[in-house]
Amino acid sequence: MEESLIKSLALEFIRAEDEAKPVEPISERYPDITIEDAYRIQLEIVRMKVERGEKIVGKKIGLTSKAMMEMLNVNQPDYGHITDRMIVIENDPIDTSKLIAPKVEAEIAFLLREDLEGPGITPARVIQATEGVFPALEIIDSRIKDWRIKIFDTVADNAGIARLVLGSKLTKIENIDLRLVGLVMKKNGEIVATAAGASVLGNPVDSVAWLANKLSEFGVSLKRGEIILSGSLIRAFDVRPGDSVVAEFDRLGSVSTRFV
């Protein structure tokens, strides 16, 4: 794609997010688009956001489950950037009028105490570089109309991230096998899903290692102090005004939010 088209599509996505008005799938409008094109659009979106005052506070990994990979016909995860504008304090409600068609995922969020720059990052190195982990809720929202997405659409759309809610408990992971951490997900008091950390690429630590190595292809690294979302343990589910959700993690604590 020409640079002028990359910039135009990035601006289109930003306007769609700001105005909560979706756009038609770019995979349909530009059938020759490549994954590289899609990441170029995402990076231009991030550049524009930083230019207007937003700060990058972390990165997220998406499509970590086999079901989501099969749905989009891909064989690896994708990633996106987290900015300070996306962070929601746990006790603050989330305004759905500023979103298009939100869904919720439950994740383990890593807080880095050291930079991670691939290639060659191993799971052991991830553990060494991690200050601790938080329970987290990621609110995803497609700026593509009716969630009619292919991998190119979600990559260009910054992997669909809209909001992030972190729990208040930071847990060291040196003596915890995150594969075995259980999750109970509740919506309006009813259990809607259960899972374990192993559902995230076999191990959330492996997921973060994958991201560090993948980003090295673009000259990007994971930075000290960043929050890294390792991927959802469960399939995303819809939320509407009046809903409340809570993710209860074994040993890691819980995180909750409500929608208005």
| Confidence tier at 220 by pLDDT (50, 70, 90) | confident
- pLDDT score of 203 more than 80: yes
Where is 36: in which H helix or E strand?
helix 35-51
Helices 3-19/35-51 angle, 10° precision: 60
* β-bridge mates for residue 60, sequence order: 80, 229
Q: Kindly tell me the burial class for residue 53, based on how many C-beta atoms sit within 10 Å of its own C-beta (0-12, 13-18, 19 or more).
A: exposed
| Confidence tier at 98 by pLDDT (50, 70, 90) | very high
What one-character DSSP code corresponds to residue 5?
Answer: H
* Number of Cβ atoms within 10 Å of the Cβ of 16: 19
| Confidence tier at 129 by pLDDT (50, 70, 90) | very high
pLDDT at 67: 64
Where is 35: in which H helix or E strand?
helix 35-51
Q: Kindly tell me the burial class for residue 137, based on how many C-beta atoms sit within 10 Å of its own C-beta (0-12, 13-18, 19 or more).
A: buried
- The two beta strands, 161-166 and 130-140, are antiparallel
pLDDT at 218: 81
Where is 154: in which H helix or E strand?
helix 151-156
Report all structural domains of the chain as residue ranges with CATH numbers, in order of start: 3-258 (3.90.850.10)
Over residues 35-85, the pLDDT tens digits come to 999 999 999 999 999 999 999 999 999 887 766 667 666 667 889 999 999
Q: Whole-number mean pLDDT of the chain?
A: 93
